[in-house]
Structures are given as C-alpha cells and as structure tokens.
Structure 1
C-alpha cells in the first residue's frame, strides 16, 4: 500500500524520538530519515522502525512489512477537482475531514474494515458530490450538515434502522456535519454479488 505524507511524518517523528533516547546514532538517524522521506510504501516505512519498541512514538514500529496499516484517527481529504475514492478493504478511521472544491468524493464501506461504531465526516465542500456506499444496516445522519444550494439523497427511512433484533451486528453510524455548497450527498447501496449455480 502506498504511503502518504502523514505516514512519512509519523515515522520521521518516531525516528527522532528514538535518536533522542539513544537508540539510534546520528549516522543511523540521517540514513533512516532520508529513507523515510523517500519511501513510497508502508512496507518500506515499517522496515525503518521494525527494530524499535512500540512505545517509541506514533510510527509504524509494530506494523509487519506485509500487514495492513493501523487505523488512523483522522483521514483528511484536501483536493481541488477530480475525484477522491476509497473502495475495497480500506481501514475506516474515527473521523474524516473533507475539504474539497469541484471534486467528487466516493467512500465505499461495503468491504471496508470497520473498527468503530460511529464515523464522523466533517465537510467543507463546494461544487461536488459526497457519495456514500454502505451495507443495508448503515445509518447516515445529516442533521449537522448545513446546506447551501445543495441536496441530500438518502435511501429508506433512517428512523427504523436501529431497531434490529438481538444478535444482529452493530451497524455503522455515519454522522455528516459541516457545510455543503452547490453539491449533493448521495447514498448508494453496495451491489450484491450473484452466486454461481
């Protein structure tokens, strides 16, 4: 998986703390910092902190080279134009910040790794669509969203989504807040796969 700027920053901070604690020499620190700033994947970053204890800092010290990245507390989407997409088995953070202009944002939760019961999406969107793809039990709350020349299209009656029998899995509750100008919030259902006969 490709590394982001935030991933590199966390590893750089971990390396600096380790050097301050005497775990890395000045030469090792310089070499690892250069590698961290040019790393392209999470696996490359994980190798740089694999011999450091987990409590060294907010890096990827406990992440196996072939493992999935840990869930981050915040995913920041800051984009002008085009489209931002999260699909497949991505790990959902506790909060997502969407700061976009003339950009469509697609968040597909149908195959995502859900680690929390509630996800908050803070929006500052203009001239774009926020498209949510979720399972049949997903709850979407847009009461905290301020609309200006914008629309919200949700499927079904949200008031009855929480009324499930015992033993049912806890649905993901998505709370969308902030501001949406000249745009849309659209909920889509995940496509069901046909079983082979």
Structure 2
C-alpha cells in the first residue's frame, strides 16, 4: 500500500537456518586463515545468539563474499596424489564428475558438507597404501564402498543417507592395502553440542 513502511532488513528476526549459514561461513573463514581461534570462538558465540539479520551481518562484513555456485565450472576429472603428506578439500570446493586418488603413507580428507555439488554422481577411483582417506558427508549424500578391494585394511561407512532425496551419490572403487577408508557424518561443533542443536545439512550461503 502507498505510504506503507518497509521494515529495515537488519532489524528482521533471524532463523535457525540463518544462524547456521553464518556459523558455517565463519568456520570456512577460519579454515582459510582469516580468523584466529579466539576471533572464531567470539564470533561463533555471537552468531548462535544473534536475534536479527543485522547482528549476523555485522559478524561477516570484513569477510569476502561467498562465491556463487552458478558461476562455478565443474571439472570432469580431478586428481589428488599424496606421499607422506596430507591433502584436504573442505569449504565450498567444487565436486568433479570423477576423482582419482593416489595416497601412499599420507592422508586425504574430503568434506562435502558445504561443497558445491552440480552433478548427481561422483566416481572416485582410490589407490590407498599405508594411508587413509576420510569422506565427511551430510545426510543427503550416499556413498557406496562395495567395490573397493581390501587387503589388510579397514573400509567403513558410518554415514548412511537419511533424507528422502539424495543430492549426491558417490561410488568408490579401487584398492586399500594396509590403510583405511572411512565415511562419516560431520561432527558437532562445540556450540552445537552445548545448545543441543542438530548438525545442519549442507546448504549454500546466500
């Protein structure tokens, strides 16, 4: 209606989902080295108790804007090779169509919690010798380990898809020798545990 006042967005009440998105963005910033441990703890506490959009936005103003998934190009094949080293993919990394992993006496950590997923399936060909591969997946990602050849190794899937609609299916093939391949759900943050909040499903920040 003419003359009707439009409420200031900063004064609108924030939802649990809004707080979760802000928390994840802060976590990614800390992982990139933009926030130290004390700054992260202080902002996490403020984010989890924020009442309005304005309070949340004040915690993110000095952080880079998040990349838009729509402008991200998906690679057909990506390769990770480690030898007595560690490789990590976490935050808003782009999931390829196929991923080849060579791991010898090292570790590979793939976190799909806030990954950019543009395809319905991911094929992983893994060769793991005296090393470890860990996949951290939200409830809407399904992982199949049945076609991995195992020799004196541990291959465990502790995360089963629990949502009606699966967003990504991951099929792992290859071999594991004197090593481990583990699939698990994200662990609760300290503040989620303290407030007895559920682990959020993967979502893209606006």
Q: CA deviation at 1:189?
A: 1.3
Moved beyond 3 Å, runs of 4+: 66-69, 191-197
- Give TM-score scaled by structure 2 length: 0.55
Mapped to 2, the partners of 1:136 and 1:163 lie a distance apart of 6
1:108 to 96, 106, 111: 111
Residue pair 2:135, 2:182 contacting (<8 A) in 1 also: yes
Q: How far apart, in 2, do the equivalents of 1:175 and 1:162 lie?
A: 17
Structure 2 residue 192 is the aligned partner of structure 1 residue 188: no
Cα distance in 1 for partners of 2:78, 2:149 equals 21
RMSD: 2.4
In the TM superposition, residue 151 of structure 1 has moved relative to its aligned partner by 0.9
Q: For the residues of structure 2 that align with 1:111 and 1:77, how far apart are their CA atoms?
A: 19
Structure 2 runs not aligned, ≥5 long: 1-66, 196-206
Q: CA deviation at 1:191?
A: 3.2
Alignment of 1:35-184 (within 5 A): 69-155=72-158, 158=160, 161=161, 164=164, 169-184=165-180
Report the Cα distance in structure 2 between the residues aligned to 1:77 and 1:176, rounded to whole angstroms.
14
Question: 2:35 corresponds to which residue?
Answer: none
Structure 1 gap segments, 5+ residues each: 1-65
Work out the CA distance in 2 between the residues paired with 1:72 and 1:122.
15
How many positions carry a matched residue from both structures? 125
How far apart are residue 188 of structure 1 and its match? 2.1
**TM-score, normalized by length of structure 1?**
0.57
Partners of 1:101 and 1:140 lie apart in 2 by 22
**Deviation of 1:170 (Å):** 3.1
